[in-house]
Structures are given as C-alpha cells and as structure tokens.
Amino acid sequence: MNGFMSKEQWKKRLNRRILVNRIFYILFFAATTIGLIFLAMLLYRVLTQGLGCLNMDFIKGFPAPYPDEAGIYAGIVGSIYLIAIVAPVSLVLGVSTAIYLEEYAPKNRISRFIQSNIQNLAGVPSIVFGLLGLTFFVYMMGFGYSLLAGGLTMSLLVLPIIVVAAQEAIRSVPNELKEASYGMGATKWQTIVRVVLPASVPGILTGSILALSRAIGETAPLLIVGAAAAIYTLPDSVFGPYTAMPIQIYSWISRPGEEWPLVAAAGIIVLLAVLLLMNAVAVIIRNKFQKRY
Amino acid sequence: MESAGSLKKKPLDVQEKIRENKEKQKMFRKLEKLVPVFLFLSAAFSVMTTLGILFTLLKEAVGFFSVVPVKEFFFNTSWKPWSGSFGVLPLITGTLLITFIAISVALPLGIAAAIFLSEYANSRVRKVIKPTLEVLAGIPTVVYGFFALTFVTPILEKFIPELQIFNALSAGIVVGIMIIPMVASLSEDAMNAVPNSLREGALAMGSTKFEVAMKVVLPAAFSGVVASVVLAISRAIGETMIVTIAAGQSPNFTFDPTMSIQTLTAFIVQGTSGDTTYGSTIYYSVYAVGITLFVFTLAMNLLAQYIARRFREEY
C-alpha cells in the first residue's frame, strides 16, 4: 500500500471534493443573484418612494421651487427633442461607417486603424465627450448652451455603439444572398441597398434603439454642455436652452430637504418607464423581424 | 397598317433605349464610384472625433500648464482650485479609491456569475438570468447615484457610525454593482470559447465541475477574463454621476473610504457648472483633469486589447 491511498482515504477525499463542488455551486449561484437582488431593491425603493408624487400634474408640470409643484414635462420634451437630433445624425453616420467597414474597406492598415479607433472611442468616458462638445460646439461653433450643442455631443457619444451594432447586423447577412444578387447582374451598391440593408434593418434598428436609450439616460455630458436645470418654457428652436429628464432628476437629487428625493424618485420612474418602453420595442423588433439564416 | 407603322418605329425606339440605357449605366458607374468616397468620409468622421478630443483637451491643457507649472499639478497634494492650489493627486487618489472598491465588488461577483452561467447553469436558467443581469448595465447612472445616496449610505451608516454622508465606500460599492454585468458577460464569452473537449477530458478523468471550472476553464479563458476586468476598471475610472452624487465634492488626499472625496470626473462636473467663466484658470484646469482622465482610461482600454490579443489561446 506504500504510496497509494487506502480505500477509506480515497473515499474521504472524494467526499470532500464533492462537498467543495456543492459549496461552490451555491456560492456561485449566490454571487449571481446578488446583482439581481440589488436590481430588485433598487426598483422597489424607487417605486415606493416615487409613486406618491407621480400624477398627471407631475408629468405636465414645469420645474418649480417647491417640491409639490415640480414637474418633468420640460424634461420629457427636451429628451425627445434631443433624440430627434441624435437619431438622424448618428444613424446616417453610423450606418455609412458600418457599410464602409464591412463592404468596401480594403484590408489594409487604414481600415484596421479606423476599426480600432471606433473600439477605443466606445471606451472613452462620456464626460470626455462632454468636454469635446463644450469646446467645439458650445464655444468654437458658437452654439452656446443650446439644444443643438447637446444633441450633436450626444450623437458623437452614441456613434461608436451604433457603428458596432450595424456592423454586426451587416456581417450576419449571408454571402449567398449577395452572390445571388451579383449573379443577377446587380452592382455592388445596388446589392447593398436592395439586399444587404433590407436584410440587416432589424438588427440595425435593435442596436440603434438600445444606443438611443443609452443617450436618453446619459447625464454627465449634458451637464457639461450646459443643459439647464430650471427652465420654464419648452425650447423654441435648436438654438434655445433646454433640459432633459436625467438633468431634472440630478437637480432634484442635489437639493436639500426631505421631499426632493421623493420628487427625484418620481422622475426616475418616468425615465425608467421610457427606457423600458424603448427596450421592449427593440426586443419586439428583434423577435419579429430578425431572420436567422 | 398600324402594325407596319409600329414595326417601322421600333428600331428607332430600341436605339433610343440603348442610348438611354448607356446614360443610365454611366450614372450608375459614377454612383458606384462616388458612394465609397462618401462612406469613407463617414468612417473617417470617427477618426476626426478622436482627433477632436485629443486636440481640444491638449489645446486647453496647454493653456493651463502655461499658468500652473506641470510639477505643481502632479506633485502638489492639495486641490483647491478656487484658492489657487492645483495639485491633482487628491483627485487621482479619489478616483483610485473608488475604482479599488468597485473592483473588489465586481471582480469576485462578476467572475462567479460568469462561472455559474457558463459551467453550472442549464440553458433555461441562463436565458432568464443573463438578460436580467444585463438590465443592471442599462440603468442610467444618475439612478444609481440616487440609490447610493438615499439607500446604500444610510444602511452602511448603521454599521459604520463615523461614515460621512458623502463617502467613497457607498459610491464605490454601487459603481462595482454597475460594472458586474460587464465583467460577467465578457468573462462568460471567454469561457464559452473554451472548447467542450477540454471540459469533457477533465470530467472523464473524474474531476468535479468545480475542478473543471477552476483548473481547466478559468486558466484557458484567463486572457479574456483579465481583459474584461481591465475594461471594467476603465469604466469605473470614467464613471461620473454616481461619484458626483454619492462621493461628494471634497478633494481629500486620503485612502479612507468613509471620507468624502472627489474624483477626476466629479471635478469636471463641478468645474464646468454654472459660474466658471470661459478662459479662467479653473476653466483650463478642467481640461488638464480631463486629459489625465483620458490618458488613464485609454491606457486601460489599450491594455485590455493587448491582453486579449497577446495571450489568447487558440484552439
């Protein structure tokens, strides 16, 4: 028996290994659920605090110096206006970039550089985009603290996300479809417009909606490019002052007093509801129109 | 008669058609050549954005360093811009403190979740848990900030009475929770890329699932896991709203997590808000802090890419 285990030793060891396996199974599961528990607590907390303030007056009201008069209407409208600027700008630029990289780009150093540049741009903190917007759009272009400056800054922020999403959607179009189109005598551009893009639209839309919902929840860059906290009119032009939902929420959080957190929580409910709606639309589009080839 | 007439006309028509067709072809050919140019310009736009970021940050930071010496910026331990002392160290320690706390939360939880999802969970459980976990990544950071300030801090106060209302601990924990999905999903991708034959080999030798996860899958996916953590560090460094709301605005040169601190990002918010005038030293200092932040996060992102590429195991 020298150098070997006895049967008892072996059994003991096996039992211990099985026990360790079981313990870690439970630990890993617990670790996974901690994030979920946190999410549940966050939602519960926001709902219990905010529902009391949430009514039609809140949704239709403007910012006010008193908690019971404050409303988020200017924020909702401002966020919609922002998206009305961000969506076309970032979609046109993003989808064109994706088409170029997937369909036209030669395999050379420049293309690789553009690709890795987009990857790095996606990792730049949003607040740095805010600084770019402040220098370039607010001061150099002379847009001031306007809706246009905010919208263009946000467009740059979501651009890399949309490019990556569109690239994935375009890449998933099978080669047979393209080859069939070429075989019928279609040119490259005709193939892209009539075959590749229609097939990848659901993927592009899904990714873009998720990117835009990121833009709606983003606060820091808008703070930098001067979205106003207190505003009593809706923006009348793209050069006018504006606010957005997260800006309103932030300004309520930073006010002293017992009641402002409740108002902030009500604002958060509205913001989360909008995000939930957008995500639901994205999921529906994906499930309904996405073909698997 | 009629048919004869149309027969006479037809050759003419065809010629015209051919000519028309040729014109059209010419236009198409032009379009075919123009489109890639336009598309290339769009693609170049993203490079312009990067250059724009570098240019604006550098330009204004140079303006700053013409007033404040570089040595003071990097070695002075006091950051009181409104009374003229510009030592960035307190902001850096604040940022590092938040990042350290966040990673201490996100590293074990994120990797454990990744192991659970890729090694233990069946596909039905995974289909429920994974998207739910990703919801955490979609919640706006201003909401996390609110939660940290009004919920996490009061709870922590019960255990640590000397905790300040604004403190690094609460903000750091919540930043950590925020980046769990990032660590978990990127690590899980790396683990999924480990071929099943390796797992089956280990299982056939009598390993338990835990041993397979620890001794086979984790080492094989190591580069991907490390890259995910480095990316998460970069996210934590750049996170703004949570720390602005919950960690405070007092640049203390400390590593005490119960104290109020200020991060690089939080100062940028404070320095650009309202009463800062264009062209003042404080305005320029924002960009000096901004370029410090940019260099930190860029270094982390490049490091993550390098690790993922350099140490990737090919199967």
Mean pLDDT of B69-80: 85
**Domain shared by B194 and B178, yes or no:** yes
CA distance A56 to chain B (A): 22
Hey, is the C-beta of A42 within 8 angstroms of any chain B C-beta?
A: yes
Residue B315: the pLDDT is 66
Q: How far is CA B82 from CA A121, A138, B48, B270, in A?
A: 32, 24, 34, 11
B140 and B27 in a common domain: no
Q: CA–CA separation, A128 vs A157, rounded Å? A: 9
Partner residue opposite B140 with nearest CB, options A159, A246, A265: A246
Query: Touching check for A145 and chain B: CB below 8 Å?
Result: no
Within 8 A by CB and 6+ apart from B12, the residues are none
Q: Are residues A163 and A192 in the same domain?
A: yes
Q: Are residues A109 and A48 in the same domain?
A: no
State whether B49 and B181 are in the same domain.
no
**Domain membership flag for residue B315:** no
Q: How many domains does chain B divide into?
A: 2
What part of B 238-267 touches A (C-beta under 8 Å)?
238-241, 244-245, 265
Domain end residue (candidates: B37, B66, B95):
B66
Verify that A45 and A116 share a domain, yes or no: no
Chain A residues whose beta carbon lies within 8 Å of the beta carbon of residue B146: 46, 249, 253, 261, 264-265, 268
Residue B16 has pLDDT above 60, yes or no: yes
- In total, how many domains does chain A have? 2
**pLDDT the model gives residue A2:** 62
Q: Domain limits at A41?
A: 7-53
A1 part of a folded domain: no
Query: How many Å separate Cα B190 from the centre of its chain?
Result: 18
Asked whether residue A119 falls in the same domain as residue A24, the answer is no
Same domain? B267 vs B292: yes
Do both B144 and B226 map to the same domain?
yes
B129 touching A (Cβ < 8 Å): yes
Query: Do A188 and A48 belong to one domain?
Result: no
Alpha-carbon gap, residue A228 to A210, rounded angstroms? 25
Distance from CA of B10 to the nearest CA of A (A): 26
Answer for the pair A206, A165: CB distance below 8 angstroms, yes or no: yes
Domain presence at residue A149: yes
Answer yes or no: is A2 within a domain.
no
Distance from CA of B274 to the nearest CA of A (A): 8
What's the rounded mean pLDDT across residues A245-260? 87
pLDDT per residue as tens digits for the range A262-277: 889 999 999 999 999 9
Here the ipTM equals: 0.89
Q: What is the pLDDT of residues A150-206, one digit of tens each?
A: 999 999 999 999 999 999 999 999 999 999 999 998 888 989 999 999 999 988 998
Mean pLDDT computed over every residue of chain A: 88
How much is the pLDDT for B1?
45
Residues 65-94 of B with CB under 8 A from A: none
- Inspect the interface and report whether the beta carbons of A128 and B273 lie closer than 8 Å: no
For residue B299, being part of any structural domain is answered with yes
Model confidence pLDDT, tens digit, residues B170-225: 999 999 999 999 999 999 999 999 999 999 999 999 999 999 999 999 999 999 99
Q: Read off the pTM.
A: 0.89
Let me know if residue B147 belongs to a domain: yes
Please check the confidence at residue B314 and state whether its pLDDT lies above 70.
no
Note whether B42 and B173 are same-domain residues: no
Cβ–Cβ < 8 Å for B167, B259: yes
pLDDT surpassing 70 at residue B5: no
Q: What is the pLDDT of residues A6-47, one digit of tens each?
A: 888 889 999 999 999 999 999 999 999 998 999 999 999 999
Q: Which domain holds residue B159?
A: 74-310
> Within this chain, do residues A243 and A163 fall inside the same structural domain, yes or no?
yes
Chain B segment 187-206 residues within 8 A of A by beta carbon are none
Q: Mutate which of B39, B105, B287 to disrupt the A interface (most A C-beta within 10 Å)?
A: B39
pLDDT at B275 (0 to 100): 67
